[in-house]
Amino acid sequence: MMGRGQWRMLKNWTLLHRRQTIIVLTLAFFIWTVTVVNFSTSMSQYGVRESEKLRKDVINLSEKYVKALARENEGIVDGPYAGRFTAYDLKKTIAVLLESILERLNRVEDQLFNQTMMNRNITRSTEASGIQAQDLLEGKNEQCELTKKDKQLYPQCTGKIEWMKQMWKSDPCYSNYGVDGSLCSFIMYLSEVEGWCPRSAWHGTSTVPKDDPTILLMANITTNIEPLMQMLVDPNERESYAWIRMRIRRIWDRWTKAVNSLAAKQDLSGRRQKKILVHLGLLSQQSGWKFAENQFKGGPLGELVQWSDLITTLYILGHKLTITSEVDQLKNILSKLPAANSPCQSRKELPVHIIYTDIVGLRQFKKFVKEGYGKFSCLLRIVDTFGTEPAFNHQQFAKKRKKSSSWGGQNLQPQQFFNMFPHSPDNSFMGFVVEQHLNDSLVNEIPRENQALVYGKNEYMWQAKTQYLDIINKSLEVHATVYMDERSDKETNTASTIIPSYVINHGFLNGEDLHTLLRQSKVFVGLGFPYEGPAPLEAIANGAVFLNPKFNPPHNRNNNAFFKGKPTEREVTSQHPYAEQFIGEPYVYTIDIGNEEQVRSTVQKILDLDTFQAYMPYEFTEEGMIQRMNSYIEHQNFCQFQRQPSKWPPEKAITLLFGEPNKSCKDVCWEKNFICEPSHFLRTNSMEALKQHGAPCSTEKVALDIFYPALDTRTNDCILQQDELLFSCVGKQENLRRLCPCRNYIKGQIALCQGCER
């Protein structure tokens, strides 16, 4: 009965020494003799039902003995097929044992009842192990085969097997996992441990082993802030977390309200508590960025905002956090993990389920885990402000195409990068929380004045904008919050030669005063820089209409110093693409600020509005962020069986669309009010799929670039993607029509599909 279930058990026991094999055989024969003698006599008395029961007894008993023996001899390795995966000696033993017992049983039965039908099932189940005892004794190997479909679903499997053939001896950990040089042991290891190959190739069960529910801790909503504050104490007294602590404390009430409100809308119980390592590379002394030092001196805070909100979200959802910001701390944690430096990819012993870090942190991390990195790589989530497109992420491809960048080349799955705004859908959108400083009762008492507030806290942002501002000055009082250093402060802002004299400057304001000023203003005036800050969202949330400068041509890494070297070809079409694309009129007007007539008419249009509605996209509220991150944590899995068609988001949310030539999937989907969903690219990557959606394929080709799968309109070649790391929502080329996986979305929570909140 070498069925599938038993195989699993066998794998977990260890092996038998050859000598023990003989003992087993002897013992089993003894049991068999006793039972069968009994059996033959009882058979005539009790009939068929009894015989069935006895047969099972025989099998059970011999199993028990073999099992007991195996346990006693744990750790003994023997013979060429002795790996734990193949467990060949043990298999041989049991197969021989059972086959001989069954054979004799059958003969007895046949004689007595001629129960051939009944036996057929048993015979079949011995066959199910794929190999007969006789063959085993003759030293035949099991046949592990990849079907064409397997290869399609697990395109990396073949390559990994080739690698194993060369490298399995390079580290003892492979043989500890039972790899023994046979093809089957490679396939078993690659499917069971690393998830690159299908289990069907070796008849393994397709159910993923479940963790023991008795040792699972459930994640409970946590609203007590103090343990979190204690976690955020810098051991080196650099006060790196001071700013983060302040932000968390300041918004804490809103966070707790948000999580309770979300829990009332959707079931947040029954979630498994995850162990999460958060390593803030940007705060480390080694980063050289002096983030920690500059946090209160006007340093860039966008990243710290995002980290604060991420940490709060994870904590409030009840996950178990370890937070580090120094290399020493990281080293200390990793040095306690024996598995950290081993190249074998089992994640069973790892004391962490998810790791959030940034590119700096990732480099530090790689340095300390060295060969062990592979098994961690799928646990990583990289907090990445700008986004990393597949073409830059794929190291070899980037090198070949001269797209190498100090940020790219990490060979992670593109969705492992978490952006501040929804950039390329190839990455995941993490976002942050737009802070609201004014409470509702206060808000209604602030009257809206005929005034505009200019978005530009540093003088240099105002360069060459006078003409544009003069038009606004014609109908609105122009205010500003430009930070002036000591010198010009004393001499008043007239000292500035860049800022027009009619501008009323309030200097640097705290959050509450700034929001009060926004409440009084009708227009929030963008100057074109900085890109994609939180401020326009705060303005819109306070009812001020955002004038968003359009860029024609769009800014990108080739024409703009700011984006140079960033791992993205993104075309930034305005100062705030999110506001342009996802919010729009009447909250946002994206205009050419060099076109006087357009500026004038737009300002007039805004002034003609009767009411100034505040709008806050749900995804930038505390509740929206908790909902989104919770969905990611519960569903995203970049590890086991990663090359299988994705189960999340579910298929019902997906529509495959065959695009026009010269269009990226991002655009193809967006034009039909969908979002490109990279986790479903695998479904598009076949001739059948292309044909089904109207591609007149003449020949099938396979290639390696970010445009595929696609139809070449000149040749009618259907070109499939060779390397899934290059599946890309943004790839496009003139003569190519792409087949795109598109997903529906919730307005205001575009990371999630409709009905996918949980």
Ligand X SMILES: *[C@@H]1O[C@H](CO)[C@@H](O)[C@H](O)[C@H]1NC(C)=O
* CA angle (737, 413, 277) in 5-degree steps: 155
User: Which phi and psi (to 5°) does residue 631 adopt?
Assistant: -60, -45
Q: Are 472 and 577 in contact (CB under 8 A)?
A: no
Q: For residue 78, state whether it binds ligand X (rule: CB under 6 A).
A: no
Instruction: Please report, as residue ranges, which positions from 498 to 537 form the binding site for ligand X (by CB under 6 A).
Output: 502
46 lies in the binding site for ligand X (CB under 6 A)? no
Burial class (CB in 10 A: 0-12, 13-18, 19+), 107: exposed
Q: How far is the CB of 19 from ligand X (least distance, A)?
A: 27
* In the complex, least distance from residue 573 CB atom to ligand X, rounded to whole angstroms: 11
Looking at beta carbons only, is 124 or 490 nearer to ligand X? 124
Judged by beta carbon, residue 141 or residue 473, the one nearer ligand X is 473
**What is the Cα–Cα distance from 572 to 85, expressed in whole angstroms?**
52
Which is nearer to ligand X, 343 or 661 (by Cβ)?
661
121 binds ligand X (CB under 6 A): yes
Say whether residue 442 binds ligand X (CB under 6 A).
yes
In eight-state DSSP terms, residue 448 is P
Using the minimum distance from each CB to ligand X, give the nearer residue, 663 or 680: 663
Nearer to ligand X, 111 or 205 (CB): 111
Does residue 322 touch ligand X according to CB under 6 A? Answer: no
**Collapsed DSSP state (helix, strand, coil) of residue 154:** coil
- Is the CB of 378 or the CB of 633 nearer to ligand X? 633
CB of 315 to ligand X, least distance (A): 12
- The residue from 18, 19, 53, 605 that contacts ligand X (CB under 6 A) is 53
Give kind and range of the element (H or E) at residue 122. Answer: helix 116-127
Window of 53-61, 203-211, 558-566, 675-683 that interacts with ligand X by CB under 6 A: 53-61
- Count of residues making up the chain: 758
Provide, rounded to whole angstroms, the least separation between the CB of residue 477 and ligand X. 7
Between 217 and 607, name the residue whose CB sits nearer to ligand X.
217
Judged by CB under 6 A, the stretch of 56-64, 249-257, 416-424, 594-602 that binds ligand X is 56-64
Radius of gyration of the chain (CA): 32
The CB-of-677 to ligand X minimum distance in angstroms stands at: 22
- The interface region with ligand X, picked from 52-60, 194-202, 226-234, 293-301 by CB under 6 A, is 52-60
Pairing of strands 451-455, 428-429: unpaired
Q: How far apart are CA 587 and CA 20, in angstroms?
A: 79
The answer to whether 50 contacts ligand X (rule: CB under 6 A) is no
10 Å CB burial of residue 299 (0-12, 13-18, 19+) is middle
439 lies in the site for ligand X, by CB under 6 A: yes
Question: What is d(CA 681, CA 678) in angstroms, rounded to the nearest whole number?
Answer: 5
Using rule CB under 6 A, residue 214 touches ligand X: no
- Token pair in block for residue 379: 């646990």
**Interface with ligand X, residue 717, by CB under 6 A:** no
Contact between 201 and 150 (Cβ < 8 Å): yes
Phi–psi pair at 706, nearest 5 degrees: -80, 0
Nearer to ligand X (CB atom), residue 167 or residue 442: 442
| Shortest spacing between CB 708 and ligand X, in angstroms | 17
Task: Choose between 117 and 561: whose C-beta lies nearer to ligand X.
Answer: 117
Whether the CA torsion 615, 620, 622, 627 is positive or negative: it is positive
Q: Under the criterion CB under 6 A, does residue 60 sit at the interface with ligand X?
A: yes
CB of residue 553 to ligand X, shortest distance in Å: 10
Taking CB atoms within 8 Å and a gap of at least 24, the contacts of 490-494 are none
Shortest Cβ distance from residue 110 to ligand X (Å)?
A: 4
- From residue 603, how far is each of 5, 352, 520, 525 by CA, in Å? 72, 54, 16, 10
Q: What is the DSSP letter of 746?
A: B
The Cβ of residue 501 has, within 10 Å, a number of other Cβ atoms equal to: 8
Minimum separation from the CB atom of position 58 to ligand X (A): 9
Minimum Å distance from CB 452 to ligand X? Answer: 11
Among 33, 116, 134, 286, the residue binding ligand X under the rule CB under 6 A is 116
Report which of 673, 413, 403 is spatially closest to residue 556, judged by C-alpha positions: 403
Map residues 718-757 to x or -, x wherever contact with ligand X holds by CB under 6 A.
Answer: ----------------x-----------------------
Candidate ranges 106-114, 195-203, 278-286, 289-297; the one touching ligand X (CB under 6 A)? 106-114
Cβ 705 to ligand X, closest distance in Å?
16
- Count of alpha carbons within 13 Å of 111, Cβ hemisphere only? 9
Sign of the alpha-carbon dihedral angle for 601, 606, 607, 608? positive
Single-letter amino acid code for the residue at 706: I
| Beta carbons of 706 and 686 less than 8 angstroms apart | no
Nearer to ligand X by Cβ, of 56 and 399: the residue is: 56
Plot region of 291 (φ>0 → left; ψ -120 to 50 → alpha; else → beta): alpha
User: x/- binding map, residues 445-484, to ligand X, per CB under 6 A?
Assistant: -------------------------x--x-----------
| Tokens of residue 77, six digits | 């390795």
Q: Does 57 bind ligand X (CB under 6 A)?
A: yes
Least spacing, CB of residue 308 vs ligand X, in Å: 22
Residues in contact with ligand X, shown as a per-residue x/- string from 252 to 281 under the rule CB under 6 A? ---------------------x--------
Decide: 572 and 549 in contact? Cβ < 8 Å.
Answer: no
DSSP string, 272-331: BPPEEEEE-GGGSGGG---HHHHTTTT---HHHHHHHHHHHHHHHTT-EEEEE-SHHHHH
Q: Are 121 and 655 a contacting pair, CB within 8 Å? A: no
497 binds ligand X (CB under 6 A): no
Interface pick for ligand X out of 33, 38, 111, 205 (rule CB under 6 A): 111
Q: In whole angstroms, what is the distance from residue 600 CA to residue 473 CA?
A: 10
Residue 495 in contact with ligand X, rule: CB under 6 A: no
- Residue from 18, 19, 56, 605 touching ligand X (CB under 6 A): that is 56
Among positions 218, 246, 495, 498, the unique one binding ligand X when judged by CB under 6 A: 218
Residue 662 makes contact with ligand X by CB under 6 A: yes
Piece in contact with ligand X (CB under 6 A), picked from 65-73, 126-134, 216-224, 361-369:
216-224
Dihedral sign for Cα atoms in the order 500, 504, 508, 512 = negative
Cβ-contact 391, 731 below 8 angstroms = yes
Q: How many residues bind ligand X (CB under 6 A)?
A: 23
Q: Dihedrals φ, ψ of 543, to 5°?
A: 85, 5
Per-residue x/- track, 381-420, ligand X (CB under 6 A): ----------------------------------------
Cβ 53 to ligand X, closest distance in Å? 5
Question: In angstroms, what is the minimal distance from the CB of 253 to ligand X?
Answer: 9
Residue in this structure with the two tokens 């033959």, named with its chain if needed:
40
Q: If you write DSSP's letter for every residue of 325-357 in order, what string do you get?
A: -SHHHHHHHHHT-GGGG------TT-S-SEEEE
Helix (H) or strand (E) holding 391: helix 390-393
Contact status: 217 vs ligand X (CB under 6 A): yes
Strand partners, 492: none
Shortest distance, position 491 Cβ to ligand X, whole Å? 21
Q: Binding ligand X by CB under 6 A: which of 117, 215, 264, 561?
A: 117
CB of 318 to ligand X, least distance (A): 6
**Binding region for ligand X (CB under 6 A) out of 51-59, 85-93, 96-104, 540-548:** 51-59
Binding site for ligand X (CB under 6 A): 53, 56-57, 60, 110-111, 114, 116-118, 121, 217-218, 220, 273, 439, 441-442, 470, 473, 502, 662, 734
